[in-house]
Amino acid sequence: MSGCPYFEKRHLLFKNKPPTAEGEEDASQAGVNKASKGGIIYGEYLQLDKIVSAQVLQSELKGNKIHDEHLFIVTHQAYELWFKQILWELDSVRHIFITGCVRDERNMLKVNNRIHRIVMIFKLLVDQFSVLETMTALDFFDFREYLAPASGFQSLQFRILENKIGVPDNLRVPYNRRHYRDSFKGHDSEMLLATEQEPTLLKLVEEWLERTPGLEVDGFNFWERFEINIFDGLNKEKEQIEAMEDSEDKEEMMLELIKQKELFTSLFDEKRHDHLLSKGERRLSYKALQGALMIYFYREEPRFQVPFQLLTSLMDIDTLMTKWRYNHVCMVHRMIGSKAGTGGSSGYHYLRSTVSDRYKVFVDLFNLATFLVPRHWVPKLNPNIHKFLYMAEYCDSSYCSSEDSD
Nearest residue (CB) to its own copies, 3 versus 218: 3
Among 8, 25, 245, 246, binds its own copies (CB under 8 A): 25
**Which residues, including other chains, have CB under 8 Å from residue 296's CB and lie 6 or more apart?**
308, 311, 368, 372
| CA–CA separation, 140 and 137 (whole Å) | 5
249 binds its own copies (CB under 8 A): yes
| CA–CA separation, 170 and 166 (whole Å) | 11
Query: Any bridge partners for residue 197, and if so which?
Result: none
Residue 175 sits at φ, ψ, to 5 deg, of: -115, 110
Task: Note if the bond before 168 is cis, omega within 30 degrees.
Answer: no
Residue 175 DSSP class:
B
Q: Total number of residues binding its own copies (CB under 8 A)?
A: 153
Among 94, 159, 282, 303, binds its own copies (CB under 8 A): 303
What binding mask, one character per residue, do residues 385-404 give for its own copies by CB under 8 A, x or -? -x---xxx-x-x----x-xx
Nearest residue (CB) to its own copies, 70 versus 287: 70
Whole-number minimum distance, CB 62 to its own copies, in Å? 5
Are 302 and 390 a contacting pair, CB within 8 Å? yes
| CA–CA separation, 391 and 385 (whole Å) | 10
Distance from the first to the final alpha carbon of the chain: 19
Whole-number minimum distance, CB 54 to its own copies, in Å? 4
252 binds its own copies (CB under 8 A): yes
Whole-number minimum distance, CB 89 to its own copies, in Å? 8
Q: For the segment 322-361, give every residue that binds its own copies (CB under 8 A).
A: 322-323, 326-327, 330, 333-340, 342-344, 355
Among 175, 296, 324, 359, binds its own copies (CB under 8 A): 296
128 binds its own copies (CB under 8 A): yes
Nearest of 97, 280, 52 to residue 206 by alpha carbon: 97
What binding mask, one character per residue, do residues 85-114 give for its own copies by CB under 8 A, x or -? x--x---x------------xxxxxx--x-
Stretch that binds its own copies, among 199-207, 224-232, 282-290, 368-376 (CB under 8 A): 368-376
Look at the alpha carbons of 29, 34, 38, 39 in this order and tell me if their dihedral is positive or negative.
positive
Q: For the segment 48-67, give every residue that binds its own copies (CB under 8 A).
A: 48, 50-56, 58, 62-67
| CA–CA separation, 267 and 369 (whole Å) | 12
371 binds its own copies (CB under 8 A): yes
280 binds its own copies (CB under 8 A): no
Q: For the segment 165-204, give every residue that binds its own copies (CB under 8 A).
A: 188
Among 4, 10, 154, 171, binds its own copies (CB under 8 A): 154
Whole-number minimum distance, CB 224 to its own copies, in Å? 21
| CA–CA separation, 389 and 302 (whole Å) | 6
| CA–CA separation, 338 and 324 (whole Å) | 19
292 binds its own copies (CB under 8 A): no
152 binds its own copies (CB under 8 A): yes
Q: For the segment 27-46, give every residue that binds its own copies (CB under 8 A).
A: 27-36, 39-46
In this structure, the dihedral spanned by the alpha carbons of residues 372, 375, 378 and 380, taken in order and rounded to 10 degrees, is 160
Nearest of 384, 344, 25 to residue 175 by alpha carbon: 344
Write down how long the chain is.
406
Give the type of residue at 305. Answer: Q
4 binds its own copies (CB under 8 A): no
228 binds its own copies (CB under 8 A): no
Whole-number minimum distance, CB 275 to its own copies, in Å? 17
266 binds its own copies (CB under 8 A): no
| CA–CA separation, 281 and 80 (whole Å) | 31
